[in-house]
Amino acid sequence: MANNKIIIFDTTLRDGEQSPGASLTTKGKLEIARQLANLKVDVIEAGFPVSSKGDFEAVKAIAKEIKGPVICGLARCVKKDIDTVYRAVKAAHKPRIHVFLATSKIHMKYKLKKAEDEILRLAVWGVKYAKSLVDDVEFSPEDASRTDKEFLYRVVEAAIEAGAKTVNIPDTVGYAMPSEFGSLIKGIRENVPNIDKCVLSVHCHNDLGLGVANSIAALQNGARQVECTINGLGERAGNASLEEIVMAVKTRKDIFNLGMGIRTQELYKASQLVSRLTGIIVQPNKAIVGANAFSHEAGIHQDGILKRRTTYEILKPLDVGVKKTRLVLGKHSGRHAFRERLKKLGFDLNEKEVKRTFEEFKLLADKKKEVFDEDIIAIVEDSVRTVKERYHMESLQVSSGTGISPSATVKLRFNNKIAEVSSTGDGPVDACYKAIDGATGIKGKLLDYSLRAITGGKDALGNVTIRVKAKGKVISGRGSSTDIIEASAKAYLNAINRLMYKLGR
């Protein structure tokens, strides 16, 4: 049944949920299943129903509600397993029973304690029994990549003869190399006489970081179903990543010439949903859906991107559901990206002013991991536009220590008047900020706080950079002192003065 359409079999809710700490509730599974349907995956493996009552109920709920994809459940070649899957998926518009049985020598000897002939008999029985319940049956010879090839050919042929519409070849422990796994798929196609009567599938684990590479090698050698998961979740090091396989095939049409029904614009949303519900964070440098996948900081890269996006991006962010390319301003950024950001922020500066502000930006970038737009606005206001100090700090007294409640008293001068306010807080900085709020009548919400030593030694000068939201605006503030509490208070007051400037007061 080899053709030019790839069947995307998502096993996030079964193998993906087997990631340590990734247990999902029925409600969570349903929410992910709805998104997988929006993504237009072809098959959803909703769980392993016999494993628990909760898993059974989740698979049953998905089978009843989700329309579009095939709804599948996993079973060993055991009557109880198969019966349980059937009860769970029978309400689905397109139900599938997926039976598996280990075929490698190490699994047969140590796990199953059965000989080849008995394994062959059980595989045939499992497929036939499942076939008596539903029309769509899939069979997997577990640990296929470490199975004797001649025996594997026999098992695959027998499973197809017994009625399996899909035969899946798992690299269960991620042992195979891409060239080796591609040859295995090619060998099955060449040595199993009835292979054209089924869809040849693969399920690759990522123990050596080769799950996606092995899946792609299989596609190039005739496999037409790929079993994968959102964010590459799964046992141990995980499974082949759905988003990486899909976008690799889509991006390199010149090599694959294969079609899919996936709505790729839903990939990022699916990734974020799975991450949120499982509690497993997507690493920033994760391909396709990581926070840095469409972010650029290096000056050379930013310059190229600004001139022509395809110089450093082979994918369009919108194609995977990401709003736009992100040029991160940091210590590696160049003048071109900085000038473009100034324009976007509404500043029309001459070359001399750009040079001056860029130098200030570089100094700040050495102190902070990322420079925000509010920081740039503050730099411009400091270097080019003078921000009048509406509020001036006359004095600051702070009391803090073990066993006492932190308190602060601040005395501010405003319009030749003095305001003195005392406050307590969770810590000395919090107490200072609350006292300043009381003295100015402006309540700010701290969004970002960064502290860095400017000089060395015990008497090092500390520089505090903050972002604050107040009066519906986000402003940046900076302050320096050998006393970090004083530096923190100066930064907060600096932000309030910038706010007054913005409000025209």
Q: Report the relative pairing of strands 225-228 and 295-296 from DSSP bridges.
A: unpaired
User: 192 near 154, Cβ under 8 Å?
Assistant: no
Where is pLDDT greater, at 390 or 35? 35
- The reported pLDDT for the residue numbered 130 is 98
Q: Report the relative pairing of strands 70-76 and 326-327 from DSSP bridges.
A: unpaired
- The reported pLDDT for the residue numbered 328 is 61
pLDDT at residue 200 is higher than 90? yes
Where is pLDDT greater, at 303 or 366? 366
pLDDT at residue 159 is higher than 90? yes
Residue 381, sorted as left (phi over 0), alpha (psi -120 to 50) or beta, turns out to be alpha
pLDDT at residue 407 is higher than 90? yes
Q: Taking each helix axis as running N to C, give the angle between helix 53-65 and helix 26-39, from 0 to 180 degrees, rounded to the nearest 10.
A: 40
Residue 182, sorted as left (phi over 0), alpha (psi -120 to 50) or beta, turns out to be alpha
Kindly report the pTM of this predicted structure: 0.71
- The reported pLDDT for the residue numbered 316 is 81
- The reported pLDDT for the residue numbered 486 is 92
pLDDT at residue 115 is higher than 90? no
Average pLDDT, the chain: 89
Query: Is the CATH number of domain 392-502 3.30.160.270?
Result: yes
> Rounded CA gap, 49 and 59, in Å?
7
User: 178 near 214, Cβ under 8 Å?
Assistant: yes
Of 415, 397, 414, whose CA–CA distance to 406 is shortest? 397
Number of H helices, E strands in the chain: 17, 16
Residues contacting residue 430 through CB under 8 Å, at least 6 positions apart: 406
Domain borders along the chain are 7-278, 295-383, 392-502
User: 35 near 3, Cβ under 8 Å?
Assistant: no
User: 360 near 382, Cβ under 8 Å?
Assistant: yes
DSSP H or E run through 95: strand 95-102
Report for 143-152, 321-330, 451-460: range of highest mean pLDDT: 143-152
7-278: CATH topology is TIM Barrel (3.20.20)
DSSP H or E run through 422: strand 417-424
